[in-house]
Structures are given as structure tokens and as C-alpha cells.
Amino acid sequence: MQHAVGYTSGGQFYGAKARLNVWPARVASPAEFSVSQIWLISGSFGNVDLNTIEAGWQVSPELYGDSKPRFFTYWTNDAYQETGCYNLHCSGFVQTNARIAIGAAISPVSSTAGRQFDITLLIWKDPKQGHWWLQLGSGALVGYWPSFLFSRLGASADTAQFGGEVVNTRPSGSHTPTQMGSGRFPGEGYGRAAYFRNVQVVDWDNNLIPAAGLRLLADHPSCYDIAGGQGGDWGNYFYYGGPGRSSRCP
């Protein structure tokens, strides 16, 4: 797995929200995928008690049989060992809205130097029932992850993370050409690079606040990178992604 993400940790987070543009990321082999998503995380890999809630868009030929970017949800309560699944592939996420198809292809999508199309995702914890709800766009509730699924996410998340992830199987011994985001580096900016904008978290009082002190991390910046800023209508934002294999990323 390779990441280019912005994250904030060490607090108590009761949700997260962002606008992210959607791209037809090229995935090189069926064993690989490219995702752009929000994570809410608690626990640790070391103790195998990592709890995550995840939602965003993904290109996964193995999962869907095509290369279209698709709206997805995910969860695990044991660091991806035994529990959890995408979408409705196991019991867990409870869909409450029949008008939104989880796993559906997203259309239209952004194009290089053309129109940009983004989706707004909000995940938040209902203070009364304790469930984690997912909202797509300005009003449509998609469904919820019941609180009983989780041990560590029972009370709150300790990390909110945003950005991209790619599986690199190193086909033929070199780095995969699977794209993250638009397949272009952050320095290319609006209309060419993928972005997350208006990156926010939900505080203890159920208020949306800017994700202050967002830390940016690219574990292979010559393959997939990230660069952020803040201000104006975009609030806290970053561009992220890249092409994978290149002369910079052998």
C-alpha cells in the first residue's frame, strides 16, 4: 500500500467532512486498486485492535469488473484481519436510502484541463444512538455503521485521515503505473491534479470545524505526492496523487 494523505491525530474526533474531485484513475492490474477517501481511525495495528470507518471513491477492477470510479464504504474492527468489508458485502453498514446505490459508478467525472466534478462526504457520530452516519452531498443520508461493530471507535476516533491509497504489486519487478487521483502530481494544480478541499472534523459538541494542523504524508513522494494550503472558499485543502511508475519512480 502506498499513501498520500493529510491527517490529524491525538484528539477526539466525532466525524469528518471534505469535498474531493473524482477521476477515472487508471489501474494497471486486477490485483491492484486506487482509492480516494476519508478514514476515521482508532486503535493500532500492533494490538490488532485497529478500528476504521472509510468512504470515498475507488477504482477496483477485481471488486467491480470494470475501471470506473465507484462510491464505496468500508469498515474493519481488527486491523483488516478477519472483519469488515466493502459496501454491503457483509453485514455491518446499514443502508437507509434506496436512492443511492453503494458501489455505483460516479458520473460525471473530472477531466484534465476540463470541468471538475467533486463529491462531498460527511461522516459523523450520532450523539444519542452512537452510530456513525454517512452523508453524500448536501442532504442525502446513505446509512450508518452501528456502534456495536466497534470497540475502539465506540466513543470517538483518535485520527481523521483524508487522501489517496494505491496497491503496488510491483508487476514485472518495477513500480506499478496505477494512478492515484488524476495520475498527475500536486504541483500541476487545479484542473489537472486531484484535490480534497474544505477538510473539516466534527468536535465533541457536534460542530464542524476546520481540520487544524493537518499533517501531510506521502510515503513515496516520487511516485505519489501531496501539497496543501488553506484560505478562501476552499478552507483547508490539498492536492495529491501521481502517475506511479516513471523515471522518478522506477
The per-residue pLDDT for range 186-232, each reduced to its tens digit, is 999 999 999 999 999 999 999 999 998 899 999 999 999 999 999 99
**Interatomic CA distance for residues 84 and 210, integer angstroms:** 29
Using 50, 70 and 90 to split pLDDT, how confident is the model at 158? very high
At residue 140, the pLDDT reads: 85
At residue 44, the pLDDT reads: 85
pLDDT tops 90 at residue 171:
no
The per-residue pLDDT for range 112-149, each reduced to its tens digit, is 999 999 999 999 999 999 999 999 998 889 999 999 99
**Interatomic CA distance for residues 35 and 70, integer angstroms:** 9
Pick the catalytic residue from 54, 62, 82, 188.
54
Rounded percentage of the chain residues whose pLDDT exceeds 70:
100
The single-letter DSSP state of residue 91 is S
pLDDT tops 90 at residue 46:
no
User: Active site includes 62?
Assistant: no
Burial (0-12, 13-18, 19+ Cβ within 10 Å), 200:
buried
| Whole-Å CA distances, 247 to 80, 152, 175, 223 | 33, 42, 10, 10
At residue 180, the pLDDT reads: 98
Using 50, 70 and 90 to split pLDDT, how confident is the model at 172? confident
**Interatomic CA distance for residues 54 and 62, integer angstroms:** 19
pLDDT tops 90 at residue 99:
yes
At residue 183, the pLDDT reads: 98
Helix ranges restricted to H, the chain: 61-64
Instruction: Tell me what the pLDDT averaged over the chain comes to.
Output: 96
pLDDT tops 90 at residue 68:
yes
Extended strands (E) in the chain? 2-13, 15-21, 34-42, 51-59, 70-76, 85-86, 94-95, 118-125, 132-136, 140-145, 157-166, 194-202, 208-210, 215-218, 225-230, 236-241
Pick the catalytic residue from 32, 82, 165, 188.
165
Mean pLDDT along residues 29-57: 94
